[in-house]
Amino acid sequence: MASGMKSVTALRRGLRNRCPHCGEGRLFSGWSELERCSSCGLVFVRNPGDTWFFTIIGDRLPIGAIIVLIYFGVVRSRPVLGVTMLVVLVALLFWTTPNRWGAGIALHYLSRVYWPDPADPIPPPPTGPRQ
Ligand SMILES: [Zn+2]
Ligand 1 centroid to residue 43 C-alpha, Å: 9
Q: What is the pLDDT of residue 125?
A: 73
Ligand 1 centroid to residue 27 C-alpha, Å: 9
Ligand 1 centroid to residue 37 C-alpha, Å: 5
Ligand 1 centroid to residue 71 C-alpha, Å: 41
Ligand 1 centroid to residue 30 C-alpha, Å: 18
Q: What is the pLDDT of residue 69?
A: 94
* Of 105, 117, 112, the residue nearest 19 (C-alpha): 105
Q: What is the pLDDT of residue 100?
A: 87
For residue 29, list its beta bridge partners: 32
What count of other Cβ atoms lies within 10 Å of the Cβ of residue 76? 9
Local confidence pLDDT in tens for the 131 residues of the chain? 456 788 999 999 999 999 999 999 999 887 788 889 999 999 998 877 777 777 787 788 888 999 999 999 999 999 999 999 999 999 998 888 888 889 889 999 999 998 888 888 788 876 655 54
Ligand 1 centroid to residue 53 C-alpha, Å: 22
Q: What is the pLDDT of residue 115?
A: 87
Rounded Cα–Cα distance for residues 33 and 10 (Å):
17
Ligand 1 centroid to residue 116 C-alpha, Å: 17
Q: What is the pLDDT of residue 129?
A: 55
Ligand 1 centroid to residue 73 C-alpha, Å: 43
